[in-house]
Structure 1
Amino acid sequence: MRKAFISPTKYVQGEDELLNLGYFVKTFGDSALLIAHPDDVKRVKEKLESTINKFQITLVEGGFHGECSREEVQRLQELAKEKSCSCTIGLGGGKAIDTAKCVAEGEALIIVPTIAATDAPTSHSAVMYTPEGEFDEYAYFNQSPSVVMIDTTVIANAPTRFLVSGMGDALSTYFEARATSRSYSNVNAGLPCGVREGVCGAAKGTNTALVLAKFCYDTLLKDGIQAKVASDCNLVTPALENIIEANILLSGLGFESGGLAAAHAIHNGLTSLEGTHHYYHGEKVAFSTIAQLVLENAEQEELNEVLAFCVSVGLPVCLADIGVDSISYEEALTVAQKACIPEESIHSMPFPITEEAVAAAIMVADQLGRKFKQSKD
């Protein structure tokens, strides 16, 4: 059996860690292309100026246009070549980070998230869009970022909703990895060669990835509430540090090397409901995780544990929490049909999947979540 595990070359997090950015740039050369939204640059301007002066580096600001599109990637690649940049820095949220991945194509890449809202920073994949913001394709690279640098002071000063959304994304990691392991399905860690070059082939997940995914879940249960309070106060505490690590590193390694299953596929299906469009990825994944547990007929004790965690940190547990006040069976079936297309990760579940079963799981999860919330009021 062929197995695969993928990870960044270096992961570092700590208070004011951004001051060390220049050190990592110097490992590649004297200059870097900085891909970041102007608002994110403004948030950390003093730290960027400090690291530039301390390490005598040049940061070429790319003037990121906001979408990870083919046109934007080509423009930035040409700028990097024109300015002879030694490496690429992706600073900010998901689209700036994904754009940096595409520009660097897996080489000499430093990722600096300013929020802990998803597990994308550590991955070797990116989502590309059209200039108008419509989905284009997934891109995979030969390796994960060279450096993932987390300044926990910056994360602590971001809106708490981002951190909580990241916990929702991280919540699914163990349950999806567990399902993938039970079905011996392939994982993303084996993709790059097969996708890009037609060699190497697919791979299964490792025991290491499954253990990391479980530790991710355990960390959420242990430190989630305290981390949320710390974020509300814009303070860095051990609990906040642990949740940042869980949201970004543990969840990132867990999903790529452990596998995705029903939760993320159901999330993708839910995007067909207009009411969900104003909610973050991790918020929708949290509800989708509950739907996956219903789909696999998880033990009631485990389901209640997940529901209680979500309620305690403010994650959605029913469709009303993600902008859908009511849903008909026909609407649920439409969501299920999108979640069950042949290429979706839901087929990593360890049993046959039908659209009807998924629609039922969504509707039952919604009712269970509503009743759980009412019981706590």
Structure 2
Amino acid sequence: MDRIIQSPGKYIQGAGAIKRLGDYLKPLAERWLVVGDKFVLGFAEEMLRKSLADAGLAAEIAPFGGECSHNEINRLRDIAGNAKCTAVLGIGGGKTLDTAKALAHFMNVPVAIAPTIASTDAPCSALSVIYTDEGEFDSYLMLPRNPNMVIVDTQIVAGAPARLLAAGIGDALATWFEARACSRSGATTMAGGKCTQAALALAELCYNTLLEEGEKAMLPPNSTWSPRRWSGWWKPTPI
């Protein structure tokens, strides 16, 4: 069996990255549908609009309805069609990002993902979890490719509730053991082949970095915590 590795087309991480978003998105498309959590749009919409406008990009802002359902995807598809959008940007938590990925898939357009919390693997994966409008699990939508781009503003992620960062650390710590078990057993990964040495090395590096820096990252901002140091290890690679 072949060994296969897959990942987002481009991964960008840094404090204040959302302010530079337009420059990163410009090579992909000119007209963007922005699907965002209502809470996130409350503090980020002005920055988003300015960043895209400064880069000469058009943006249609569409608040996320709350569930990654077929009806929600179709609703957003209508908005995108009316605005003649040729790409999708998802910003927020897991369900918002899964919706953006599924929407872009059905529209056959590029998708960029901007996570605002560390507790989900949705940003980098080629998968959307579909729910009913009532929030019950419906199905898994396996996507043919990972997002074209993932942009992580570590300043925003660091400002999220500490429990979400702790959940992300716990999830990322487990990745090394999952990857190692997959490699040793010769199991087929979600990419459709055997595990690569590169993916295994990234999982181990993530684990070791979290053991060294994870506790410091949980310290409150007014202690010895450093946003710059923290931004060096945010888990980038569910490959």
TM-score by length of 1: 0.60
Greater relative contact order (Cα < 8 A, sep 6+): 2
Matched, 1:152 2:154: yes
- The structural deviation recorded for 1:74 is 1.2
Tell me whether 1:185 sits opposite 2:174 in the alignment.
Answer: no
Which string of whole-angstrom CA distances, capped at 9 and with x for unpartnered residues, describes residues 31-71 of structure 1?
21111121111121332133133113222122311000011
Q: Which of 183, 195, 198 in structure 2 is aligned with 1:208?
A: 198
Counterpart code for 2:194: K
Query: 2:41 touches 2:63 (CA, 8 Å); kept in 1?
Result: no
State the AA in 2 paired with 1:222: E
Aligned to 1:94: 94
CA contact (8 A) 1:68 1:128 kept: yes
CA distance in 2, matches of 1:235, 1:27: 36
Given candidates 232, 236, 239, the residue that maps to 1:242 is 232
User: Which structure's residues are more often helix, by fraction?
Assistant: 1
Deviation string, structure 1 residues 65-109 (Cα, Å, up to 9, x no partner): 100001111111122122111210010000000000000017410
> Residues 68-79 of structure 1 correspond to what in structure 2 (within 5 A)?
68-79=68-79
Give the one of 99, 107, 110 matched to 1:108.
Answer: 110
- Checking the alignment, whether the CA contact within 8 Å between 1:11 and 1:149 is kept in structure 2 is yes
Distance 2:210 2:59 in 1: 36
Which aligned pairs between 1:156-171 and structure 2 lie closer than 5 A? 156-171=158-173
Partner of 2:213: 223
**1:153-189 C-alpha deviation (Å, 9 max, x unpaired):** 1112111111111001111101011111111111011
What do the CA deviations read for 1:188-226 (whole angstroms, capped 9, x no partner)? 112xxxxxxxxxxxx111111111111111011010011
Moved more, 10-19 or 152-161: 152-161
2:135 aligns to what?
A: 133
Residue 57 (structure 2) aligns with: 57
Q: Quick one: structure 1 residues 54 and 100, their matched pair in 2 at CA, closer, same or farther if it must change by over 3 Å?
A: same
Task: Provide the secondary structure at the position in 2 that maps to 1:8.
Answer: coil
Counterpart Cα distance in 2 of 1:51 and 1:236: 26
Output the CA distance in 2 between the equivalents of 1:25 and 1:158: 24
Q: 1:80 to 1:138 in 2, by over 3 A?
A: same
Higher strand proportion, which one?
A: 2
Distance 2:165 2:222 in 1: 10
The TM-score with structure 2 as length reference comes to 0.93
**RMSD in angstroms over aligned alpha carbons?**
1.8
Q: Which has the larger radius of gyration?
A: 1
1:8 aligns with 2:8: yes
Q: Percent same amino acid at aligned positions?
A: 38
More moved, 53-62 vs 143-152: 53-62
Report the Cα offset of residue 236 of structure 1: 5.0
CA distance in 1, matches of 2:208, 2:186: 23
Conserved in 2, the CA contact under 8 Å of 1:37 and 1:64? yes
Does the Cα contact within 8 Å between 1:112 and 1:148 map onto a contact in 2? Answer: yes
Which stretch of structure 1 is more off in the superposition, 106-115 or 144-153?
A: 106-115
TM-aligned CA distance change 1:176 to 1:124, over 3 Å: same
Q: Which runs of 5+ in 2 are unaligned?
A: none
| Distance in 2 separating the partners of 1:99 and 1:230 | 32
Write out the 4+ residue segments of structure 1 that deviate beyond 4 Å after TM superposition: 230-236
What residue number does 1:268 align with?
Answer: none
Residues 88 and 112, structure 2, Cα contact 8 Å, conserved in 1: yes
SS in 1 for 2:102: helix
Number of residue equivalences: 237
**In the TM superposition, what are the counterparts of 1:23-42 in structure 2 within 5 Å?**
23-42=23-42
* Contact 1:227/1:243 (<8 A) preserved: no
What is the DSSP-based 3-state SS (H/G/I as helix, E as strand, rest coil) of the residue aligned with 1:121? Answer: coil
